[in-house]
Amino acid sequence: MTGLKVIKPGPLSLLQDAGRFGWQHLGVSPAGVLDQQAAAWANRLLGNAWGTPLLEIALGGVELESQVDTWVAVCGADLPIQLEGQVRPGWSRFPLRAGQRLSLGFARSGQRGYLAVAGGFSAPPVLGSVACQVREGLGGVHADGRALLAGDCLSCAPAQLSCPASVPWPYIPDHRQIPLLRVITGGDAASFAEDQLQAFFAQHWQLSPQSDRMGARLQGQALSVPARQWSLGVATGAIQVPPDGQPIVLLADRQTMGGYPLLGWLHPLDLGRLAQCPAQQNLRFTVISLSDAQAQLRVFYRFFGR
């Protein structure tokens, strides 16, 4: 097996793709990348199809040694990138030769970087996907759900492209900004008192250090929560409000059922912006209509060929 040998794995580096779908009736979460836009750009730079397996790198601190001649692209968090000690720009593609070492330092802004390789990484699929889900022990390099370790090999084939390329600057997000995240209200929103809905959108929330790939936990002035008598299926981006009144935005490794009242759903294109926020980041929310969100998603999916 040849590809990219892992010298330093970083705190949490996971092989991911577009997700594991069709198994939620059995309680299997979809997993997949947290920042769809960054991952989609990394694959597009290399001519890869939507959802081609790549590496999601939390915080940075990764070093890889190539065993093949190929091309790579790095998007997402602002990670210092060095190839054999020479600086390379983010949100771009560049060649990587056999024997060369690629180092990704710790993020200056943002939380997750995405490293794609021309043709994609290969690994044994589990339930139709290589997406790594640590909690359930599914997917990843060895199909057992564990994060990358030193000595692992990210299998890939040799590839050759013609020239470097970068993402146009207007499409590169500034992760240092305080994000205003868009919410499609619904679910149990009508059961919340009107002043409680207004309180959710009026205040600044903070991202809790207890957040993970399963859910982004918010901290702020607690909301009064309506009663819920049954559990329902939940989707990525659902905003649950548990009894303590501190909302949780469900992310890729979420559960498939939930009994907490739902205030609405985060716009799918804002999930990546949330995933790039550090702990204690201030957050604000605003309302968007379902039709506007759908129109924006159609443009996004059409551009990336989904």
Residue-level pLDDT at 230: 79
Dihedral of the CA atoms 191, 250, 24, 21 (nearest 10)? 130
Contacts of 41 (CB under 8 A, 6+ apart): 73, 75, 91, 167, 171
Q: Which of 13-22, 220-229, 247-256, 258-267 is predicted with the least confidence, judged by mean pLDDT?
A: 220-229
Residue-level pLDDT at 228: 73
Placement of tokens 């990670």 in the chain: 79
CA dist 267 and 238 (Å) reads 9
Residue 267 has a CB neighbour count (10 Å cut-off) of: 22
Q: Which of 228-237, 252-261, 273-282 is predicted with the least confidence, judged by mean pLDDT?
A: 228-237
Contact call for residues 47 and 136 (beta carbons, < 8 A): no
Residue of 116, 85, 115, 84 whose CA lies nearest to 100: 84
Residue-level pLDDT at 1: 66
| 117-136 average pLDDT score | 95
Residue-level pLDDT at 232: 86
Residue 305 has pLDDT above 90, yes or no: no
> In Å, how far are 73, 121, 246, 266, 296 from 290, measured between CA atoms?
33, 35, 24, 11, 10
Q: Quote the percentage of the chain above a pLDDT of 70.
A: 99
Residue 238: both structure tokens together: 């659902």
Cross-strand partners of 306: none
Q: What's the CATH fold of domain 180-304? A: Cyclophilin (2.40.100)
Residue 147 has pLDDT above 80, yes or no: yes
| 257-286 average pLDDT score | 95
The answer, as to whether pTM is greater than 0.85, is yes
In the chain, where the domains are located: 3-171, 180-304
Mean pLDDT comparison of 189-193, 224-228, 229-233, highest-scoring range: 189-193
